[in-house]
Chains A and B, each alone.
Chain A
Amino acid sequence: MAAVTLSEVRKSYGQVPIIHGIDLAVNSGEFLVLVGPSGCGKSTLLRMIAGLEEITDGTIAIGDRIVNDLPASQRNLSMVFQSYALYPHMSVRKNLAFGLVNLRMPREEIDRRVAEAARILRIEELLERKPRQLSGGQKQRVAIGRAIVREPQLFLFDEPLSNLDAELRVQMRVELASLYNRLGTTMIYVTHDQVEAMTMATRIVVLNKGRIEQVGTPYELYNAPANLFVATFIGSPKMNVLAATAAGGKVDVAGLGTLPLPSEKQAEGKISIGVRPEQVTIGAGELTIEGTITLVEYLGSEVFLYVRVASGDTLLVQAPGQSQYKIHDPITLGIDSKEAHYFNGEGLRVG
C-alpha cells in the first residue's frame, strides 16, 4: 500500500496544455475515483501516474519515492485497461503469469499467486483458455487478475467497466468493491460514470478541463458541491439550477418569487440556486411555484416529473413511485430555503 502525491503536475501536448497544475494527495489504502466529462484529462492523469505518459512539469511521488523518471514497470503498480489489453496469443494462465515471469519470480511462487488470483476471481476453470474464448465479463476478470497477481502497492483502473453491458457492470462494480475491501490496496479509478464514482469511492476527484473542481467523499460532493459544475455533474438526474438575485438577506428567484437567504450565507447580486429533484416538495413550500407537467418518467420506485414553470424553466421533480401524475396536469411545487444550494456569480458555493 502506498500514498500517491501529485504536486503541480502539468501536461501539454506541444503548445496545448491538457493538465493545468494538479495538486492531489491520495491516501494510502484509499479508493480514489477520478471522474469528469470526456476530455477532462482524467485518463491522461492516470497514465501519468502509471508512467505511460511523460509529465511536462511537477512531481509525482508513490510512497516517498519520486517516480517522475521511473519506468512504469518499476513503479510497483498494476493497471487495468478499458479494452482489457489481454495478450491474445497467450492462455489466461500465461496472461496472469507474464508479469511475474518478467520479474524472474520462482515458478512455485508464480503458480501460487496465479492460483490465488484465479480463486478470488472465480476464473479457475478458464485458465487454459485463450482470451478470444472468453466473454466480456470473463475478460474483465482476467484483466483484474493480471493486476492482482503482482501484489502491487497501487492499482490503477482506466474505465474498466465501460465495455460491459449494464447488468454486468453493476455486478462487476460490486465485485470490485469487495475486492478492494479484501485487499485494502490503494486504488485510483477513472470513470466518466458518476454512479460508479459515487458507489465505489472513498473519495472522489471531479476534474474538468484539466483542473480539479473538487475533492471529497461522495457525501460531501453530493451535499456540499463546491461549485455549479460539481453540483450539476454529481447526482443523477441532474440538479435544477435557477437564476436568482440576492439582496439584503432575500433571494429573488427570477420570475418565481422570493426565498429568505439562510442566515449563515452571505450573498449579493446575481446568484444561482440549485435544488436537487428530490428536494423539490410537491405542494406548497417557502417558495411556492405553479407549473404544468410536460413529461412523466416512471421508474417504478420513483417517478420523475418535468414541470414547466412560469419563468420558462423546466424543473425536474422526484415523486414517489405510487403517485399518479399525467402529462399536462397542473402541479404545485415548493422549495425550502434550507434545502437549496447557493452559488455566486462565479459559480462558487456560497456559505
Chain B
Amino acid sequence: MTEATITPAMLSTAEVARAYREAKAKRAKKAALLKHVFLIITSLIMIYPLLWMLASSLKPDNQIFGDLGLWPREFQWQNYWAGWNALPVSFTTFFWNSTVVTVLSVIGNVISCSFAAYAFARLEFSGKTIWFALMMMTLMIPYHVVLIPQYLLFLNLGWVDTYLPLIVPRFLAGDAFFIFLMIQFFRQLPRELDEAAMIDGCSPFKIYWAIIMPLSLPAMATAAIFSFIWTWEDFLGPLVYLNDMEDYTVPLALRSFISSDGVSQYGPMFAMSILSILPIILFFVIFQRLIIRGIAMSGLK
C-alpha cells in the first residue's frame, strides 16, 4: 500500500471515498466467495448419499461396496429393468398401490384437515377451546404409542390386510399438525371477507369453498406436499397393516430386496429406490409453485 507516502491533504474527498468503496467491494467479494465455498461444500455433504445411491443403482453388485469412486466403471442400466421385475410381484403393482394410498391420503388430509381448521378458526361451537386443546395434545403423542391400540381397533374392524387403515383416518382429520397449520393461515385472513360473503348470501360451507380455500392455496399446498412425502415414504404403517405382497407399497417392496438368506440384490434395489423418489420430487416441483403464487397473492388490503 502506498498510503503512507500520500498525505491526507493530497487526497481529495472523492478519492478517499473511492478508495473506501473499492476496499469495501473487495471485502464483500471475498466474503461472498467464502460464503459460496461453504455452501457448496455443505450441499455436497447433504447430497452425497443421493449421489451415491444414484451411482450404485448403475453399478454391478460387486462394485457397490468395493469401489471407492462414485463414478461407475461401467453403466449397468439393466439394474433398472431387473429391479422392476426382481420380486415375485412387479413394481408396476407396487407403484400403483403406493399411488392409490398416497393420492387418497393427500386428498383426505387436505379436505378433512381444512374443514376442521375452518371450524376452529371461524365457527362458534360449544366446547371449542377444549376441543382445540385436545387436538393440540394429539400433536404431542408419538405415532408409535398409538400404533398398537390402533392396530387392535382395525383388527376388530376386520380392516387389517386392506388399505382402509392407511386411508380412512386421513379423511377424519387425524393429523393435528396440518389442522394447526391451516388454522394459523385462516386466522390471518380478514374476517370482513367472511362477513362480506355472508351478506352476499354464502353459507358457512360456501364461505369456506369460495373464499377461504382459494385464498389458502399456500397452506393447502404445504399440507399436500408434506402429506404426500410422509405417506409415500411411510414404512411402518404399511408394514403393520399389509401382509400380502400383492398389496405392498413401494417402501415395503424395497425392503423385500434385502432377503434374510443373505443373497441381496443391491444394484436393482438402489435402482428402484431412485425411481421411488422421483414422484416426490415431481410432486414437490409442481406444488411449490402454488406456495410461491400464494405468497404473491397475499396483498389482501
Contact = CB atoms under 8 A, between A and B. Distances in A.
Interface of A: 50-52, 71-73, 77-79, 81-83, 85-89, 98-99, 102-103, 132, 146
15 contacts: A52-B199, A72-B195, A72-B198, A73-B202, A78-B199, A81-B192, A81-B195, A83-B190, A83-B301, A85-B190, A85-B192, A85-B195, A89-B297, A98-B200, A132-B299
Nearest to A156: B199
Interface string B183-215: 000000010110111111110001000110011
Contacts of A52: 195, 198-199
Contact of A87 (B198, B211, B299): B211
A253 B152 CA distance: 90
Interface string B210-224: 110011000000000
A87 B193 contact: yes
B300 interface: yes
B299 A88 contact: yes
Given A71-B198, A79-B195, 4 more contacts: A72-B195, A73-B199, A73-B201, A98-B200
Contacts of B196: 79, 81, 85-87, 146
Given A89-B214, A89-B215, A102-B206, A73 B198 contact: yes
Interface in B112-153: none
A103 B201 contact: yes
Contacts of A88: 215, 297, 299-300
B200 A102 contact: yes
Contacts of A71: 198
B201 A102 contact: yes
A72 B300 CA distance: 24
Max chain B C-beta neighbours (<10 A), residue from A71, A72, A78: A72
B190 to A, nearest CB: 6
Contacts of A85: 190, 192-193, 195-196
A77 B214 CA distance: 26
Interface residues of B, number: 20
Contact of A72 (B192, B199, B215, B299): B199
A52 B201 CA distance: 12
Contacts of A86: 196
Contacts of B198: 51-52, 71-73
Contacts of B300: 88
A107 B196 CA distance: 22
A230 B230 CA distance: 65
A132 B299 CA distance: 7
Contacts of B195: 50, 52, 72, 79, 81, 85
Contact of B199 (A77, A89, A132): A77
A272 to B, nearest CB: 41
Max chain B C-beta neighbours (<10 A), residue from A73, A77, A85, A86: A85
Contacts of B199: 50-52, 72-73, 77-79, 99
Contacts of A89: 214-215, 297
A132 B296 CA distance: 10
B290 to A, nearest CB: 13
Nearest to A77: B199
Max chain A C-beta neighbours (<10 A), residue from B190, B200, B201, B301: B200
Nearest to B190: A83
Contacts of B197: 87, 98
A81 B195 CA distance: 9
Enumerate the 3 nearest inter-chain pairs by beta-carbon distance, A residue then B residue, closest first. Answer: A99-B200, A73-B201, A102-B201
B198 to A, nearest CB: 5
A73 B200 contact: yes
Contacts of B214: 89
A349 to B, nearest CB: 38
Interface in B3-61: none
A72 B204 CA distance: 12
A143 to B, nearest CB: 9
Nearest to B217: A89
Contacts of A51: 198-199
A139 to B, nearest CB: 9
Max chain A C-beta neighbours (<10 A), residue from B192, B198, B199: B199
